[in-house]
Chain A
């Protein structure tokens, strides 16, 4: 018999917890919900757009009655719980309804704080909290003219803007001298004030309200200095207070909010609390992203999968006033130890400030152009060292050397037909439609529904900004430590550390030890297999069933389920025997397409899987081996002819290329790994867009790292210059090994270097020659077990089941 779960509070945090719970344990609980309001669960954040007339109430409903029915949830709408009887484990509503519980979830939210000045209870004095308030305001705007909003914070300004759009004359009264002082510095605040004034709002700054005057309805507001202004409607928006009375009555420990631990349990372990009513590590949150993070952890615990911990949130703010872009996060004021980077362009109305401590961003305020807000926010949460790109950071991510999207990043200006995701052909309009119609909140949800940003990921920033602009800024925030995939709450780094520290030597050992929620998926299993192979090269047996088909079959699958075959050509050098053999094979197997690849090889297309072992056997006869063109592995070492032929050549780039390829072939890496050696700075082998590139110069060799020519072109960073070939080899091996050991699976060297910083890589490779040597030795050790031609083994019969049908039925 299922246990009983009762939720008090039919709002976003509580219902989100139920949704998370239903995802992982749909049958564990019989659920009932009590909500004071006569509605289903709606998106409270979007009340401002409803007031402003941009959206209707129907458009902001998240869960309608059908949803509760579909999930067998009893919904008690419009019923207020007045008592929790913890001894008998039941809740009692004002109308006498009772429900027993095994577990209770409190999501009672918060309510606006009303300043207790004389007249605060007059008709016409309202707060801005729920649909009822919005209805009141819209109604008032039909009959009255003068509105006063007390409070110049986020909520107050949104209310003021909405009332103005409904046709009222609005004065905002603010106690402080600067608007939104908890989110903005004075510079950004004055730009905001100016813009709002231009639109028609009036402000009374540094003003304290003394009384609200009127007979049967509000007529005037009087301030401390004795002045008065007329008012037909007063909106109080000076802050919120967690609703804790119910919990307090039941003897649950509360301070400002209901005290919870990291699994969202209150003082009574059968009772949980989430959302704005909660006080966690002395903080309460009023933004959506933290509430959703809490919901996830809480659901995990209620489902008895006590693996997640909520460890607090870093939050960002965005004002939901159409046409005003504003972003703020972290400590944007700073102190005597911090530095400020400021960009200000008054004519374009653009302002950006970054507060930096010890070369790490600790806070940001942006006004006018906030497209890079999520990027700065990521850098801040990840505590990224910005030394390497500090000089350009204020210009935004588009100016960081990648020539990918550049100014296209301005999503708001894009037409609905503009393509956002080039891989899957998804345009802006489709994404916005999915976000609004399917009520999507997170990047993952947008990916699942639209496929946008689901392939190469280069449009992730665009999709995140679209999400932010469509549903409000604080939705898209991912948890600080991104889990590897939905099968686990552990991040890539945590998993790798566990493998190392606990000597885990199989995928099932990792999954058992780290309490995987499933038996893996197509994202985490290949990653785990790689991490294990990298950590235990001599002990780990490869799990071929956890490899993507290309690596399992040692060929590239094509759209028609045929395969391509690309033999290795060491350093791009071939000879008549090899070419003759390739031509013979192409004839014999009736190859449809013979293509010269960008990595200086020849590719044969359109082959059936059953043919592969025989083709490989034939190619082996001429010494041709697997080129690993299908793998997250060392691909090619591209070269020019160098000193041997070229009149400009300074070193023997071809020979060096061959030696590098002989050393590194067969190694598995987090993502594909390409190299090149150019014989002079004219760089015909394009070494500066490779993962590792060598540019020969007269005095020796320049070593470049972290380039790629793919989705976002990125030129390499110069690592160092060395004198001889032996040093080139050692640096190559050491760089590859550090990349293999530290990058996340599916992360190429370019994003890896941008994540950890070039300074870090230099420190690792150049800081201590002994450590570099040891890294190179670890690479060479691992190579002893990797350098076996997979084609030869399979041509001789290994893994035969992979290539033959089980049965042929005529």
Chain B
């Protein structure tokens, strides 16, 4: 199993209450930064109709999908009730100002 922490860029490159995209061979991952400077990584694909979550408005630990305004919880990947659905989440951490993303090729492939 190939699992490794990958440096995906500097923390400052992600805007507060915003997101950036990491492109992989198995689809995009959205990297979010909240108002409190927490960082989250989720699959950039809304469980509803596949909207790019990275393009949504970030409030608290939630993002609103730009297509139909579903709210997705960034820590769990769960849609906020009463909507039902789930998006894959990825481990991410900030070390010395650099964002590290834990990627597992098999898992990534499975959720693509």
> Do the beta carbons of B18 and A553 come within 8 Å of each other?
no
> Do the beta carbons of B20 and A561 come within 8 Å of each other?
no
Contact (A807, B8) CB under 8 Å given A545-B15, A548-B66: yes
Could you say which of B6, B13, B58, B82 has the most chain A C-beta atoms within 10 Å of its C-beta?
B82
- Closest chain B residue to A545 by CB distance? B17
> Do the beta carbons of A549 and B55 come within 8 Å of each other?
yes
Question: How near does chain B come to A348, taking the closest CB pair, in angstroms?
Answer: 40
Complex alpha-carbon distance, A163 and B69, angstroms: 48
CB neighbours (8 Å) of A59 from chain B are none
> Do the beta carbons of B52 and A809 come within 8 Å of each other?
no
Could you say which of B6, B55, B67 has the most chain A C-beta atoms within 10 Å of its C-beta?
B55
Contact (A810, B55) CB under 8 Å given A448-B82, A549-B66: no
- Chain A contact residues: over half helix, strand or loop, or mixed? loop
A224 on the B face (CB < 8 A) = no
Partner of B23, one of A545, A559, A561, A805: A805
CB neighbours (8 Å) of A553 from chain B are 55
Question: How near does chain A come to B25, taking the closest CB pair, in angstroms?
Answer: 6
Question: How near does chain A come to B94, taking the closest CB pair, in angstroms?
Answer: 13
Interface residues of B in 3-25 (CB under 8 A from A): 6, 8-9, 13-18, 20-25
Complex alpha-carbon distance, A806 and B99, angstroms: 11
CB neighbours (8 Å) of B52 from chain A are 557, 561
> Do the beta carbons of A806 and B20 come within 8 Å of each other?
yes
Contact (A806, B14) CB under 8 Å given A522-B64, A522-B69, A557-B67: yes
> Do the beta carbons of B13 and A806 come within 8 Å of each other?
yes
> Do the beta carbons of A809 and B20 come within 8 Å of each other?
no
Complex alpha-carbon distance, A593 and B112, angstroms: 28
Complex alpha-carbon distance, A439 and B79, angstroms: 21
CB neighbours (8 Å) of B59 from chain A are 518-522, 525
> Do the beta carbons of B22 and A519 come within 8 Å of each other?
no
Partner of B9, one of A546, A557, A806: A806
Number of A-B contacts (CB under 8 A): 80
A679 on the B face (CB < 8 A) = no
Complex alpha-carbon distance, A519 and B52, angstroms: 22
CB neighbours (8 Å) of A454 from chain B are 69
Question: How near does chain B come to A296, taking the closest CB pair, in angstroms?
Answer: 19
CB neighbours (8 Å) of B71 from chain A are 522
A801 on the B face (CB < 8 A) = yes
A526 on the B face (CB < 8 A) = yes
Could you say which of B6, B28, B67, B103 has the most chain A C-beta atoms within 10 Å of its C-beta?
B67
Question: How near does chain B come to A608, taking the closest CB pair, in angstroms?
Answer: 11
Question: Count of B residues near A, CB < 8 Å?
Answer: 35
A: contact size bracket: 20 to 34
CB neighbours (8 Å) of A810 from chain B are 25
CB neighbours (8 Å) of A801 from chain B are 13-15, 20
A501 on the B face (CB < 8 A) = no
Contact (A449, B82) CB under 8 Å given A557-B67, A807-B22: yes
CB neighbours (8 Å) of B28 from chain A are 805
A415 on the B face (CB < 8 A) = no
> Do the beta carbons of A519 and B57 come within 8 Å of each other?
no
Question: How near does chain B come to A550, taking the closest CB pair, in angstroms?
Answer: 8
Question: How near does chain A come to B38, taking the closest CB pair, in angstroms?
Answer: 12
Contact (A809, B55) CB under 8 Å given A557-B66, A801-B13: no
- Closest chain A residue to B26 by CB distance? A809
Complex alpha-carbon distance, A548 and B69, angstroms: 10
Question: How near does chain A come to B90, taking the closest CB pair, in angstroms?
Answer: 12
- Closest chain B residue to A424 by CB distance? B68
CB neighbours (8 Å) of A449 from chain B are 82
Complex alpha-carbon distance, A739 and B21, angstroms: 38
Question: How near does chain A come to B66, taking the closest CB pair, in angstroms?
Answer: 4
> Do the beta carbons of B9 and A545 come within 8 Å of each other?
no
Contact (A559, B25) CB under 8 Å given A519-B60, A546-B57, A553-B55: no
CB neighbours (8 Å) of B16 from chain A are 545
Question: How near does chain A come to B102, taking the closest CB pair, in angstroms?
Answer: 12
> Do the beta carbons of A806 and B56 come within 8 Å of each other?
no
> Do the beta carbons of B49 and A559 come within 8 Å of each other?
yes
Question: How near does chain A come to B74, taking the closest CB pair, in angstroms?
Answer: 13
Partner of B103, one of A518, A522, A525, A809: A809
A87 on the B face (CB < 8 A) = no
B31 on the A face (CB < 8 A) = yes
Produce 1/0 per residue, A547-591, CB < 8 A to B.
Answer: 111000100010101000000000000000000000000000000
> Do the beta carbons of A805 and B57 come within 8 Å of each other?
no
Produce 1/0 per residue, A411-443, CB < 8 A to B.
Answer: 000000000000000000000000000100000
Complex alpha-carbon distance, A189 and B50, angstroms: 56
Complex alpha-carbon distance, A188 and B107, angstroms: 69
A726 on the B face (CB < 8 A) = no
> Do the beta carbons of A559 and B55 come within 8 Å of each other?
no
Complex alpha-carbon distance, A810 and B64, angstroms: 28
CB neighbours (8 Å) of B55 from chain A are 549, 553, 557, 561
Contact (A809, B64) CB under 8 Å given A525-B59, A545-B15, A801-B13: no
- Closest chain A residue to B25 by CB distance? A810
- Closest chain B residue to A562 by CB distance? B52
A1 on the B face (CB < 8 A) = no
> Do the beta carbons of B18 and A545 come within 8 Å of each other?
yes
CB neighbours (8 Å) of A557 from chain B are 52, 55, 66-67
CB neighbours (8 Å) of B9 from chain A are 806-807
Produce 1/0 per residue, A783-810, CB < 8 A to B.
Answer: 0000000000000000001000111111
Interface residues of B in 50-109 (CB under 8 A from A): 50-52, 55-60, 64, 66-67, 69, 71, 82, 103
CB neighbours (8 Å) of B21 from chain A are 805-806
Complex alpha-carbon distance, A350 and B80, angstroms: 45
Complex alpha-carbon distance, A438 and B58, angstroms: 29
Complex alpha-carbon distance, A548 and B67, angstroms: 10
Complex alpha-carbon distance, A526 and B71, angstroms: 16
Complex alpha-carbon distance, A808 and B25, angstroms: 9
Partner of B67, one of A448, A519, A559: A559
Interface residues of A in 376-426 (CB under 8 A from B): none
> Do the beta carbons of A518 and B60 come within 8 Å of each other?
yes
Complex alpha-carbon distance, A449 and B20, angstroms: 31
Question: How near does chain B come to A534, taking the closest CB pair, in angstroms?
Answer: 19
> Do the beta carbons of B57 and A808 come within 8 Å of each other?
no
Complex alpha-carbon distance, A805 and B102, angstroms: 18
CB neighbours (8 Å) of A438 from chain B are 82
Question: How near does chain A come to B42, taking the closest CB pair, in angstroms?
Answer: 14
Question: How near does chain B come to A445, taking the closest CB pair, in angstroms?
Answer: 9
Going nearest first, the 8 A-B pairs with the smallest beta carbon separation are A806-B20, A522-B64, A545-B17, A522-B57, A549-B55, A561-B52, A807-B8, A549-B66
Chosen A-B contacts, 27 in total, with CB atoms closer than 8 Å, are A449-B82, A518-B60, A519-B60, A521-B59, A521-B64, A522-B56, A522-B69, A525-B57, A545-B17, A545-B18, A546-B57, A548-B57, A549-B55, A549-B56, A549-B66, A557-B66, A559-B49, A561-B50, A801-B15, A805-B28, A806-B9, A806-B13, A806-B20, A807-B22, A807-B23, A808-B24, A809-B6
Q: A438-B82, A806-B14, A808-B24 are in contact. List 20 more A-B contacts (CB 8 A).
A: A448-B82, A518-B60, A521-B57, A522-B56, A522-B71, A526-B57, A545-B57, A548-B57, A549-B57, A557-B55, A557-B67, A559-B67, A801-B20, A805-B21, A805-B23, A806-B20, A807-B8, A807-B9, A808-B22, A808-B23
